[in-house]
Structure 1
Amino acid sequence: MGRIFAIISTILGSIIGAGFSTGQEIFYFFSQFKEKSFFYIGFSSILIFLILLYLVNIRIKSRIILMIFKSYILLFSVITLIVMFSAFGQLGVEFLGVSKYIFTLLCFVLSIAIFKHGLLAVINMNKVVVSILITALIFVFLKAWHKNEIMFQFESLRCTLPKDILNHLIFPLLYSTYNSLLAFPVVNGLKERFCQKEIKISIGISSIIIFFLLSIINVMLLWEANLQTSQMPLLKVEKNIILHFILVTCAFLEILTTTLANYMGLSYSIKNPKAEFVIIILSLILGFNEFQELLRKLYSLMGYIGLGIIAMLSLSTLLLKDRRLK
């Protein structure tokens, strides 16, 4: 159980990044559809499970396809790094009143220092951070529910699918594709330390946890409509100073864990440490841009490209009849 907990924490730590822990990503992809958003959250959770399970099992024999896949992971890691650096700086501005340049640089320094200690350091950090974040979110949700601060109309969901589900289906598709490919380098790295059965079980449990966390955050965002204009809506839900401090701290730490996941993506794509460092520096410079705009534009872009990558991998699997990835 300890080994499975370590895997689950590491998978969740790579997915629960800036957009997730601040609520911005969840509002953009789900909450904007109001009560219908729960259907899309469920669909996304199932897709994340299926895509990660698929990536764990496939193997690419074609050098051309493998090169294209690694190139995507490289581009994916760079774009996500830019968003993570920007988010860290934005958190510093909104909650501490400190220049975003200082906090963006701080994110760079801390993440490099942790990554130098290897995969074990990444796993241990995720075990702590994910546990604290999940506990804090559940406590905040139950506290608000008990005080009747959250009274979402669940009866409006009914048992029927939304009539316009096909028009909005692209949002859960983009979200699940993006986050699955974000977690892939981490899952691929875990294969060196854990057996495949443990990883598969952990992927299933992680998908269930993601569904519940997305649903909890979504309910809070739907109830607090005035927060939806903020770049960090989730972090302004709780008014209690201690809980607020915990949520903000977790957001900082989760941005770091996702940054580490993207460093692993760079290591998977290129084997030259000097080239990796140059790419990280370029991402840092671009990370000084506005967080909200970067997240909405770049995440969607990479989601679309990711759909093409998944389609390409599926086609190659059917043609080559091989189900393990190098």
Structure 2
Amino acid sequence: MGRNIHILQIAFTYIGTIVGAGFATGQEILQFFTRFGSLATATIMLSTIIFIWLGTRLMLIAHEISARSYEDVNLHLFGPKAGKWISWITLIILLGVNSVMLAGSGSVFMEHLHLNYQSGLLLTLLCTYLLLSKGMHAILQMNSILVPVMMLLSLLLIISTLNTPNYDNFIIIKTDHNPILVWLAPILYTSFNLSMAQAVLVPLGSQTASKSTIRWGGVLGGVGVGIMLMAAHFAMSAQMPGIQQFEIPMGNVAIQLGIAVQTVYMIMIFLEIFSTFVADIYGLTLQLQQYVRVSPRIITLFIMLVCFLISQFGFSPLLSFLYPIFGLISLFWIGMLIYSGHKGHPLTPFNRKNRTFANSLKQHIFKS
């Protein structure tokens, strides 16, 4: 029973990490899938397969080398010199992505909760700082509650969309986009999201004692991401092309469920953004602790300040500009993750030294 709970915790945390601001609000799904019409169903299936395959591989590598942070995995994949450069590039990208998520929380407050944009940013930062003191265990518990609720709401959206006149748009809408772009989109999407998720998936895999638990958690997590992708695409397709004008397209879709459910859905979108933001800030703090000998709280405050400043540019401009660029950069990283399965990666002395540290962490995880 305890093992099954651990599997679900990993699966829910995996899903919760992928379901960030772009996913939860619908902007990411709109940009990478829905705008491509009927072909999006096939590209979502491709993304699901990649999430299952490479998400699980990433956690297993972290487990095998007892990685302290995502830098250890990059050192393992790319070697000492290139690995450090990749880790710093990843850090910069993560700062940008977290800024987008923070901006997304502000947009939720402004567009659907009718509160001030800056209030959303500051509340998110305050709650993040308070929750981070609990570490990975709090992240696991939070996603174990939020993700099942989001999946239930996704099911309600599917049922509600079936009663709309244009429910079959996801099958009949054609696209004039170049087929290369259409099929490149899911690869860019999964590459980007997995490279960003490493901040959470690496410590998660490292701190899990059983490879079997990791594998089942990765499979269920990847399938769950695919189901939520398909549910959001199905619901937004029914409102194409008008849905593209909204900052929070999924919030507009949720209107069809009624005011009460829409309010709950918007709160859940905020909480999903929040949970991913918390998890990524946690991963960034672990990474910088390996370089800066100051209190983790100070590192966390510095990271949040940088994110706050960047988030002033706004949600949609940041997402539409930064995400495609980050996706292209992530292709190189994902290629090395795939290549790692076809050659031996002996543990470096650096990683061996981390084994004792990681093993001590394993004693304290999943006690519930």
Equivalent position of 1:187 in the other structure: 201
Per-residue deviation, residues 186-205 of structure 1 (Å, max 9, x unmatched): 22222314422111111111
TM alignment of 1:47-58, pairs within 5 A: 47-58=50-61
In 2: Cα distance, 1:275 partner to 1:54 partner: 29
In 2: Cα distance, 1:323 partner to 1:242 partner: 54
In 2: Cα distance, 1:111 partner to 1:222 partner: 34
The size of the alignment, in residue pairs, is 322
> Aligned AA for 2:259?
I
In 1: Cα distance, 2:305 partner to 2:312 partner: 12
Equivalent position of 1:204 in the other structure: 219
Q: CA deviation at 1:17?
A: 1.2
| Unpaired stretches in structure 1, ≥5 consecutive residues | none
TM alignment of 1:1-326, pairs within 5 A: 1-58=4-61, 60-61=75-76, 62-145=79-162, 147-152=163-168, 156=172, 165-190=179-204, 191-225=206-240, 226-239=242-255, 240-271=258-289, 272=292, 273=296, 274-314=298-338, 321-322=345-346, 326=351
Q: CA deviation at 1:267?
A: 2.8
In 2: Cα distance, 1:300 partner to 1:83 partner: 13
Q: CA deviation at 1:19?
A: 1.1
In 1: Cα distance, 2:207 partner to 2:60 partner: 14
Are the structure 2 counterparts of residues 15 and 298 from structure 1 closer, same or farther at C-alpha, using a change threshold of 3 Å? same
1:98 counterpart SS class: coil
> Aligned AA for 1:287?
S
Q: Is the 8 A contact 1:51 1:177 kept in 2?
A: no
1:287 counterpart SS class: helix
What TM-score comes out, normalization by structure 1 length? Answer: 0.90
Equivalent position of 2:366 in the other structure: none
Quick check: 57-66 or 74-83, which moved more? 57-66
| Unpaired stretches in structure 2, ≥5 consecutive residues | 66-74, 352-368
Per-residue deviation, residues 259-291 of structure 1 (Å, max 9, x unmatched): 012113313421133344323211111112110
Q: CA deviation at 1:156?
A: 4.8
In 1: Cα distance, 2:216 partner to 2:247 partner: 35
In 1: Cα distance, 2:230 partner to 2:336 partner: 31
Per-residue deviation, residues 104-124 of structure 1 (Å, max 9, x unmatched): 111111111111111111111
What TM-score comes out, normalization by structure 2 length? Answer: 0.80
Q: Is the 8 A contact 2:33 2:233 kept in 1?
A: yes
Per-residue deviation, residues 148-206 of structure 1 (Å, max 9, x unmatched): 4552156659xxxx995334222111110111122222222223144221111111111
Are the structure 2 counterparts of residues 16 and 167 from structure 1 closer, same or farther at C-alpha, using a change threshold of 3 Å? closer
1:133 counterpart SS class: helix
RMSD: 2.5
Quick check: 181-190 or 228-237, which moved more? 181-190
> Aligned AA for 2:185?
F
Are the structure 2 counterparts of residues 322 and 69 from structure 1 closer, same or farther at C-alpha, using a change threshold of 3 Å? farther
Equivalent position of 2:357 in the other structure: none
In 2: Cα distance, 1:248 partner to 1:123 partner: 22
Q: Is the 8 A contact 1:16 1:254 kept in 2?
A: yes
Per-residue deviation, residues 238-267 of structure 1 (Å, max 9, x unmatched): 330111011101111011111012113313
Q: Percent identity?
A: 22
Q: Is the 8 A contact 2:11 2:218 kept in 1?
A: yes
> Aligned AA for 2:46?
F
> Aligned AA for 2:84?
M
Are the structure 2 counterparts of residues 268 and 66 from structure 1 closer, same or farther at C-alpha, using a change threshold of 3 Å? farther
Q: CA deviation at 1:309?
A: 2.0
